[in-house]
Amino acid sequence: MWRAFTRLIAITVESSSSAQGATPHRLLTQQFQAHSHQQINYLSLLNNRKMSSEKPKVVFVLGGPGAGKGTQCSKIVQRFQFTHLSAGDLLREERAREGSQFGQLIEDYIRNGQIVPVEVTCSLLENAMKNSGKTRFLIDGFPRNQDNLDGWNRQMDGKADMQFVLFFDCAEDVCVERCLGRGQSGSGRSDDNMESLKKRIQTYNNDSLPIIKFFEQAGQVKTIDASPDAEKVFEEVERVFLANGFQ
């Protein structure tokens, strides 16, 4: 049945532009929701370690594709005691995992610049948090839309303390240039090309920016100008962490 489902997804992606009033994302999500309930449980079963008794502290790291989130997270990890969890990397790992039931689904979403249903992403994040045995996390590239935010609140309610959102503010043309540069220097990513990038940017503007605005209205966003070179950007980042009590 799952194979039939993934085939259906591929067909849906191809043909959905002609479907009346239905975006590819909506169709994919509907198909996913209709079939996912039995499939998803195994992700929860992957974890068999217990989380430490201290409630984990989480910083959400957001910004456009190529804004420099991953680059800055590596620097934060070197300077402060944080564990970096990139939602995109976890999805790519799951896609590559032999026997994964979600491989094709993840690939379809990523290539189309769309956002994977939260049940998959949030389970991967929660498992990674538990398995790390650590208590301070940078959650990079998540939550990216309302579905992500709702899913996180549902699944992680009472299990983690979100400290703030680190937002890398970066002009669209700079983001595009950086992603294409990353593709040319051998990222091997199936979405570091102009065609996927257009869709990723559209998704970012339509779905992710409203989430950043939501956090901003709640006074939870620390905005960093991501346009200077990486060292300069990190000077600002470091200031934010120090000002928020991290050593």
Ligand X SMILES: Nc1ncnc2c1ncn2[C@@H]1O[C@H](COP(=O)(O)OP(=O)(O)O)[C@@H](O)[C@H]1O
3-state secondary structure of 87: helix
Minimum CB separation of residue 138 from ligand X in Å reads: 11
Report, in Å, the least distance between residue 229 CB and ligand UDP.
Answer: 18
Tell the smallest beta-carbon distance from residue 1 to ligand UDP (Å). Answer: 23
Cα 234 to Cα 87: distance, rounded to the nearest angstrom: 21
Distance CA 131, CA 48 (A): 8
Tokens (6 digits) for 234: 């990190």
Residue 132 has φ and ψ, to the nearest 5°, of: -70, -30
Residue 143 marked as a ligand binder: yes
81 Cβ contact list (under 8 Å, min separation 6): 136, 246
79 is in an annotated binding site: no
Please identify, using beta-carbon distances, which residue of 66 and 143 lies nearer to ligand X. 66
- 237 labeled part of a ligand binding site: no
For residue 115, the partner it binds in ligand X, ligand UDP, none, with Cβ less than 5 to 8 A by kind, is ligand UDP
**Residue 2 Cβ, how far from ligand X at the closest point, in Å?**
30
* DSSP output for 181-244: HHHHTT---TT-SHHHHHHHHHHIIIIIHHHHHHHHHTT-EEEEE--S-HHHHHHHHHHHHHHT
31 binds, among ligand UDP, ligand X, none (CB under 5 to 8 A by kind): none
Footprint on this chain of ligand UDP (rule: CB under 6 A): 65-66, 69, 86-88, 91, 109-110, 113-116, 121, 141-142, 144, 148, 191, 200
Phi and psi dihedrals of 41, rounded to 5?
-60, -30
Interaction partner, residue 229 (ligand UDP, ligand X, none; CB < 5-8 Å by kind): ligand X
Q: Is 178 in the site for ligand X (CB under 6 A)?
A: yes
The label of the residue with tokens 């370690």 reads 49
In one-letter notation, the amino acid at residue 212 is I
Cβ-based nearer residue to ligand X, 24 or 65 = 65
- Single out the residue of 150, 130, 122 nearest to residue 54, CA to CA: 130
182 is in an annotated binding site: yes
Nearer to ligand X, 28 or 201 (CB): 201
Report if residue 65 touches ligand X, rule: CB under 6 A: yes
Query: What is residue 115's DSSP assignment?
Result: P
Residues annotated in a binding site for a ribonucleoside 5'-phosphate: 92, 114-116, 141-144, 189, 200
Residues annotated in a binding site: 66-71, 92, 114-116, 141-144, 148, 182, 189, 200, 228
Residues of this chain that interact with ligand X (CB under 6 A) are: 63, 65-71, 178, 181-182, 229-230, 233
Residues annotated in a binding site for CMP: 148
